[in-house]
Amino acid sequence: MEYFYIKGGDAANGEIITSGNKNEALPVIAASLLSSETVILDNVPDILDVRNMLEIAEDLGASVTRISKNKIEINAANLRNKPLDRELCGKVRTSVLFAGPLLARNGEVILPPPGGDVIGRRRLDTHFIGFKQLGAEYSVEGEGYEIHAEKLVGSDIFLDEASVTGTENVVMAAVLAEGTTLIRNAATEPHVQGLCTFLKKMGAKISGIGTSLLSIEGVSSLSGCTHTIGFDYIEAGSYIALAAMTGGELTVKDSARDDTLRMVLHTFGKLGIKTEKRGNDIFVPSQKMVVAKEMNNAIAKIDDGIWPSFPSDLMSIAIVAATQAEGTMLFFEKMFESRLFFVDRLVGMGAQIILCDPHRVVVSGASQLHGANLDSPDIRAGMAMLMAAIAAKGPSRIFNVRQIDRGYEAIEDKLLKIGISIERKDG
């Protein structure tokens, strides 16, 4: 079994370049099946989740060619009408995103249960509510789902929650539906915007991108195109927090080209994390982190929510950073009821954390962390524990590293370049 061996006590110094946005690349791969023409995708992160999505696409008849490490060509001219492979879909949560494209191209889809992180209930109701309003019917068969439609017809759809994957699936089905579709309460995250931009390059007619109201005028077919995946702001946030909590000086390249990180940096500021914008880069100076109390000397709070709120995918990262900040911080995880259960590992390393309930923890710092043997329960908690191990005194071993590999490209190579002693070992 592979594991990471971390010496501990290093500071992150130098420059780092983030990879392409995992959460944009995965739906874009699924959306490539909407066209019978060739699609070329650049800046695609070479991570396990991407490889799994490409494997599913190939199993469905798409031709996948890796032009280079981060550049991929996909052609779905010979798309098959077959059930999605249960074993392949069990490896990745976003296998559900093939439902929209297959429904639009083939008129039906048989979908096994998707895999992914176990961080709480992750309902699919929003996807099926949207499909039904476009004219599809669905049934639950065993542990899977059968969806079919004689014809997809545009509709005025109100999503019962601003689900990211739900919005993406309904958008992909709607672009080839007859007539106009309005999607209200749509998710607005950068990766949803990236998917919509990609679809427009293919010839889809979408307006309202970046807002909670999307208007889609259906077209009869989509063409091929070339698209570059945006930068991964979750990865950028992870490295910013790592530099601050280890006392290093780090430049995160090309992460300030737009306002994507604005809420992340604002929230990190509550932990005393200071950053500077230098052109298109973000610079993290060496610093002592001190929690900023709220008005009237109230205990500070960090909570997450739908965009543009602080993203849930950075809650684990912020919690481990808080262990190295002087002061007390309440964290309120609103979206997933099992995301916070990794904190017992941090407590075992010496962190002062109280788990109040499945959604709230209180962190008091700064704490001296000590090396330990750990396992990675999900992508983000895995990265958080890796950060804790780097800041700790003494060596650590982190097992189940495939979870981290699902979301962070060449993680040990990037960390070695910024002065972190880390090895990938078998044993």
The pLDDT value recorded for residue 12 is 98
The pLDDT value recorded for residue 382 is 94
The pLDDT value recorded for residue 112 is 87
The pLDDT value recorded for residue 114 is 77
Q: Active site includes 304?
A: no
Bond into 377 cis (ω within 30): no
The pLDDT value recorded for residue 119 is 41
Mean pLDDT by 10 residues, the chain (427 residues): 95 98 97 98 97 97 98 98 92 92 96 62 81 94 85 97 96 98 98 98 98 98 98 98 98 94 97 97 97 89 96 97 98 88 96 96 96 92 96 97 94 98 93
DSSP string spanning 112-140?
Answer: PPP----SS----HHHHHHHHHTT-EEEE
The pLDDT value recorded for residue 117 is 44
Main-chain dihedrals φ then ψ at residue 240, nearest 5 degrees: -60, -45
Give all domains of the chain, ordered by start, each with its CATH number. 2-19+231-426 (3.65.10.10), 22-228 (3.65.10.10)
Strand partners, 228: 42
Asked if residues 30 and 98 have their Cβ atoms less than 8 Å apart, the reply is yes
Q: How far apart are CA 262 and CA 245, in angstroms?
A: 19
Among 117, 313, 378, 405, the one annotated catalytic: 117
Q: How far is CA 220 from CA 4, 153, 168, 202, 204, in A?
A: 50, 12, 19, 12, 9
The pLDDT value recorded for residue 115 is 66
